[in-house]
Structure 1
Amino acid sequence: MASLTVSLDERSYPIFIESGLLSNANLLSQYIRSQRVCIISNEVVAPLYLDTIKQSLSQFQIDEIILEDGEASKNLQNFEAVMAHMLEQGHGRDSTIIALGGGVIGDLSGFAAACYQRGIDFIQVPTTLLSQVDSSVGGKTAVNHPLGKNMIGAFYQPKAVFIDLDTLSTLPEREFSAGMAEVIKYGVLADKAFFDWLNDNQQAIKNKDSQALAKMIEHCCAIKADIVARDEKESGVRAHLNLGHTFGHAIEAELGYGKWLHGEAVATGMVMASQLAHDLTLIDGDDVASVTELVQQFDLPVRAPASMKFEDFIRHMRRDKKNMNGNIRLILPVKLGQCDIFDDVTQQQLAQVIECLTDTQ
């Protein structure tokens, strides 16, 4: 079993990575401190894995909340429904929430845990590649608002993260590809050698080779755990993890949450950020081509939807959480494996890259 630690003093917690973790009753139960457990999942994941985890935790008093699938369900209405369920079922401050699902379930469950009776324990059990390598680690919890993605939330760390590699066997190909956007992101922003490894091991990854997936997921988690340990609440280097997200969140918000998967929007946003970096003479054309080609190898989009105009992007980008003093802040690569924060990009420069990388059909 691979294991890592997110080092945050008294809020430190482990990440476990192995096949069959959902059946490891002894390990799971170590991180639950009372008899009361609420499992939050969705209508797609629950039929696959809810019974397994309930059987592993049969000594606990368990109830569950099953939400609809998709990004559109990460909203205040479902947050309120979770609060009502917890109150109606008599959950106390020593109860534990288990998030069983992808990033939507993890984000909403974590925010609910952060708010219920001013904070109760929660455990992440991510079942998508994207949530395993990114959203389950680091304690960012939130729900969406029509005016902006993840605008209502809190930093709240889980007690543990259990990544069962077997859950990837039921993941649709489109969802797997979306997760690869976040995987590629780590190579672009922090580790050129990992970027090269992804290029060299494309086929093994596409074939879901267990050793390749385990190595890839562990490395992504290690990069994120290190960054989070240095900057838990995103006052500095943690903002680098938002590479591609400023453009990507604009696409998601404009189209309506769920029309493009989060990873698909991030993939296009990462290509746009790379092209903008080239326009600013930060990286050369070969680097842009390398990022674009690797993104395309995993069947991810590299151009913004034709329906979006410059004004659509700017309207949403102005609400981005990274912005300071009214300036749009962008994470841009300065070379493959390294990025930085820029807040002096002009509207003309933004317009140029948006026009260049927006679909014409």
Structure 2
Amino acid sequence: MNTDTPTVIAVPGTEPYDVIVGRGVLSNLRASFTPGVRKVLIVHAPQLADWAASLRTELRDEFEVLLAEVPDGEAAKRVEVASFLWQILGQADFTRTDAIVGFGGGATTDLAGFVAATWLRGVQLVQVPTTLLGMVDAAVGGKTGINTAEGKNLVGAFYAPRAVVADLDTLVSLPRNDLLAGFAEVVKAGFIAEPEILAHLEADVAVATDPGTPQFRRLVELSIGLKARVVGEDFRESGLREILNYGHTLGHAIEHTERYQWRHGAAVAVGMVFAAELGRLTGSLSDAAVDRHRSILESLGLPTTYPVGRWNTLLAAMQRDKKARGSMLRFIVLDDVAKPTVLQGPETSLLFAAYQEIGS
């Protein structure tokens, strides 16, 4: 395992915390807890069982450490799984001075955060994302939640972690398709605020997506830095934070329609092209900028189309989306790269026209 000087990215706001990025930085986990913590529950995905056992060994001289294995991916984000974790916490007599660690991808950190927010109305939380998606998006910002039959993340809470520890060494064994799917959120950050990300991907996509390169680390840090600035200013998504939903309104609808068999990043990739087409149809975004969306996403092997004939199902899912305001749909669109804006209540005919542009 490599060790280097970590990068510390501060998340400001009323409940500030640090995101520690680097190689071999899991050693920082112990220092992330506040004094007084006696018990720690590590919530982890099945493929991380060995890592979790090693963490328990490292921590058990100071803490009573329990492990809880949860299903992989979106299957973890169910009320039955949350209830299972509540049961463990109750039987182990976890108090408000104890801590939960979310150790895994975005679904695991979403679940662990929700359980931490709800047990005794809030116990200490440290997030340890082990996927690119988790590092640049899910584990940072304090959004936690579970899914229901009606949609994704409809039950949840805003709950800030004590710290986020993003160890790039945990990405080494990540399947290539999962790594590239996580790049959808990196590309999103590039289009809404950080054009340097797009430039790196266009210069050499192989180098930029290699976890061992400085360019890869730079893209991770740029993405986390953007999210830290945004959520620090708007923790509860009452204004600026909404720009982080670029591509997500249709993306979440696709995930729901596909019964979460699509990777989140794949769905968001299609959602971004849809949002770009919306921007073009409203006259704010150039053809070249829309083409840039497609070329960058396709260079990562991410989808940019979706089958025609499913519009009514997708529209119904979008209308249930938590970003809607009453019956009014809201979309983040671009006036240009790094110039996001809100499109409120677009006509259904406009949405359908944009959908036709991504149809396959």
5 Å-filtered alignment, 1:146-225, equals 146-225=149-228
Residue aligned with 1:260, SS: coil
5 Å-filtered alignment, 1:62-141, equals 62-141=65-144
Aligned alpha-carbon RMSD (Å): 1.4
Aligned equivalents of 2:96, 2:29: Cα separation in 1? 23
Q: Which amino acid aligns with 1:271?
A: V
5 Å-filtered alignment, 1:1-361, equals 1-9=6-14, 11-24=15-28, 27-28=31-32, 30-31=33-34, 33-47=36-50, 49-58=51-60, 59-257=62-260, 259-306=261-308, 309-359=310-360
Q: Which runs of 5+ in 1 are unaligned?
A: none
* Cα deviations by residue, 1:110-160 (Å, 9 ceiling, x for unpaired): 000000011100100000000100111100000001111100000000000
* Cα deviations by residue, 1:164-206 (Å, 9 ceiling, x for unpaired): 0001101111110111000000011112233223322422123
Q: What is the CA distance between 1:24 and its match in structure 2?
A: 4.2
Aligned equivalents of 1:33, 1:103: Cα separation in 2? 28
* Cα deviations by residue, 1:57-107 (Å, 9 ceiling, x for unpaired): 122100111011121221111111111111011111111000000100100
* Cα deviations by residue, 1:244-270 (Å, 9 ceiling, x for unpaired): 00000000001102x101111001100
Report if the CA contact (8 A) 1:138-1:225 is conserved: yes
Residue aligned with 1:45, SS: helix
Q: Which amino acid aligns with 2:229?
A: D
Aligned equivalents of 2:311, 2:303: Cα separation in 1? 18
Report if the CA contact (8 A) 2:9-2:20 is conserved: yes
TM-score normalised by structure 1 residue count: 0.95
Aligned equivalents of 1:301, 1:129: Cα separation in 2? 18
TM-score normalised by structure 2 residue count: 0.95
Aligned pair count reads 354
Q: What is the CA distance between 1:32 and its match in structure 2?
A: 6.0
Change (3 A) 1:321 1:26: closer
Aligned equivalents of 1:322, 1:2: Cα separation in 2? 33
Q: What is the CA distance between 1:31 and its match in structure 2?
A: 4.2
Aligned equivalents of 1:118, 1:88: Cα separation in 2? 17
Residue aligned with 2:285, SS: coil
Aligned equivalents of 1:149, 1:286: Cα separation in 2? 32
Residue aligned with 1:183, SS: helix
Change (3 A) 1:262 1:25: closer
Report if the CA contact (8 A) 1:184-1:195 is conserved: yes
Change (3 A) 1:33 1:261: farther
Runs of 4+ in structure 1 off by over 3 angstroms are 23-28, 30-33
Aligned equivalents of 2:83, 2:212: Cα separation in 1? 40
Aligned equivalents of 2:275, 2:160: Cα separation in 1? 29
Residue aligned with 1:8, SS: coil
* Cα deviations by residue, 1:23-54 (Å, 9 ceiling, x for unpaired): 346534x546311000000111223x112322
- Comparing 135-144 with 58-67, which one deviates more in the overlay? 58-67
Residue aligned with 1:98, SS: strand
Q: Which amino acid aligns with 2:94?
A: H
Q: Which runs of 5+ in 2 are unaligned?
A: 1-5
Report if the CA contact (8 A) 2:76-2:111 is conserved: no
Q: Which amino acid aligns with 1:291?
A: H
Report if the CA contact (8 A) 2:210-2:216 is conserved: no
Percent same amino acid among aligned pairs? 32
Aligned equivalents of 1:63, 1:305: Cα separation in 2? 45
